[in-house]
Structure 1
Amino acid sequence: MTLLYPLHLAGTAVTLREFSEDDTKAVHALVGDTRVTDYLSFDAKTREQSDTMLAGIVDRARQEPRTEFYLAVDLAGSLIGFARLGLNGVQAAKLGYAIHADLWGHGHATDAVRTAIQFGFGVLGLHRISAAIGPNNTASIAVVEHLGFTLEGRIRDHVYTGGIWRDSLLYSVLTHEWPAQPRSTTHTAGRS
């Protein structure tokens, strides 16, 4: 696969774009907030840890072949979250996403996830996209169920966060299950 960088995916309300070094403050506001990370597979990060995380995301975006699409969710010029497709095998990816807690309940996660999935199936040619979600994350479960994901089962003691092991519910959607979804996303990519 050719390098798809920099990537810009337009959803209905949000845009998925590459992270930049200028995103340090916004990234820390997201991944340093326990309201957000309590639902993720990692604990809240210090400013230094957030900066290290961001540097890794920026570096991996330029690798070829690109095996991860870790994109900033941008709303009207402000970073409000992330959406990630981690390629893991033949035509498969793991989905991850988060939105800043102050903006929950406005449909931004649904728009970001829909945009990422359309890119995964339409441009990357994926066959399967899966998401592992904590059983108590009812809002995230509602997002994937609304978008047509199927519950496959429970992964016991899947992640270790907050000093405890946590189960995850495994959801997936296959490419032939996706065509009924609206196709409003446009994308652009170029070489830098």
Structure 2
Amino acid sequence: MLIGEKILLRARHEGDVAVLHARPDGRMVLTAAARRGVAVPARGRGLGTDVVRVLCRYGFGVRGLHRLQVDTLADNAAMIGAAERAGFRVEGTLRGAAWVSGRFVDEVLLGLLAAHWSP
């Protein structure tokens, strides 16, 4: 989290966290931190996609935001897929941007504009 950043909404399920941040520069960022991933019996049921869609509804429908951004680890295929199903597009990769388990790993950025969002 950056200095001056505000948390607008936090969703937590079985150890996984999704947070909608308001950054000082006006950008809104959705950060997903999957500690254990979706429980095996719940995988493939679209729960991750539902969480992303709810956060979009809040960001665009309630807060009236112009743009949302998802930051996630490059190997988090479930989160990337959930974001893409919700309408996000991959905008780039930040090489070696995250420190995880004693090493640097890549992050993927995905973005969605309000004008391209389908409730």
Give the TM-score taking structure 1 as reference length: 0.51
In structure 2, the partner of 1:31 is none
| Residue segments in structure 2 that go unaligned for 5+ positions in a row | none
Aligned mates of 1:82, 1:70 — CA distance in 2: 10
User: What count of residue pairs does the alignment treat as equivalent?
Assistant: 109
In structure 1, the partner of 2:43 is 104
Structure 1 residues 100, 152: closer, same or farther in 2, change over 3 A? Answer: closer
Aligned alpha-carbon RMSD (Å): 2.0
Q: Structure 1 residue 135 and structure 2 residue 74: aligned? A: yes
Q: Which has the higher contact order (CA 8 A, sep 6+)?
A: 1
Q: Structure 1 residue 150 and structure 2 residue 89: aligned? A: yes
Residue 100 (structure 1) shift: 4.7
Q: Structure 1 residue 87 and structure 2 residue 26: aligned? A: no
Q: Secondary structure at the match of 1:140?
A: helix
In structure 2, the partner of 1:122 is 61
In structure 2, the partner of 1:175 is 114
State the identity %: 30
Aligned mates of 2:78, 2:37 — CA distance in 1: 13
Higher strand share: 2
Q: Is the 1:150–1:173 contact (alpha carbons within 8 Å) kept by the matching residues of 2?
A: yes
Q: Which amino acid aligns with 1:84?
A: V
Aligned mates of 2:65, 2:58 — CA distance in 1: 9
Q: Is the 2:10–2:19 contact (alpha carbons within 8 Å) kept by the matching residues of 1?
A: yes
| Residue segments in structure 1 that go unaligned for 5+ positions in a row | 1-65, 74-78, 182-192
Residue 71 (structure 1) shift: 2.4
Q: Which amino acid aligns with 2:89?
A: T
Q: Is the 1:154–1:169 contact (alpha carbons within 8 Å) kept by the matching residues of 2?
A: yes
Bigger radius of gyration among the two: 1
Aligned mates of 1:136, 1:161 — CA distance in 2: 12
